[in-house]
């Protein structure tokens, strides 16, 4: 994933921006990662959350193209 998207993912996980997708799986992932990070705000936890978010977007990139564009424009 590119740097713009990575910075958006980081802000999402930290709860600095909000995003609602039409994709239930993505919404569940975002809220789970936010809870995980809020419980332990260590850099290592954030990096693991970012890796998981990137892996999800790589795996499902064909169905998440609209979400990628929307996230970049946040």
- CA 19, 27, 2, 15 dihedral sign is positive
Q: How do residues 11-53 score in pLDDT, each as one tens digit?
A: 999 999 999 999 999 999 999 999 999 999 999 999 999 999 9
pLDDT given at position 1: 62
Q: Is the pLDDT of residue 2 over 90?
A: no
Query: CA triplet 18, 54, 31: central angle to 5 degrees?
Result: 35
Domain edges within the chain? 3-72
Q: Is the pLDDT of residue 65 over 70?
A: yes
| Cα 4 off chain centre by | 12
Can you give the pTM of this predicted structure?
0.92
Query: What does the block give as tokens for 54?
Result: 């990137």
């Amino acid at each position: 994933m590119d740097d713009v998207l990575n910075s958006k993912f980081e802000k999402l996980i930290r709860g600095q921006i909000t995003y609602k997708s039409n994709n239930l799986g993505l919404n569940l992932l975002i809220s789970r990662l936010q809870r995980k990070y809020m419980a332990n705000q260590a850099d290592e936890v954030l990096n693991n959350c970012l890796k998981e978010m990137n892996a999800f977007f790589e795996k499902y990139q064909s169905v998440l193209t609209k979400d990628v564009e929307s996230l970049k424009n946040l």
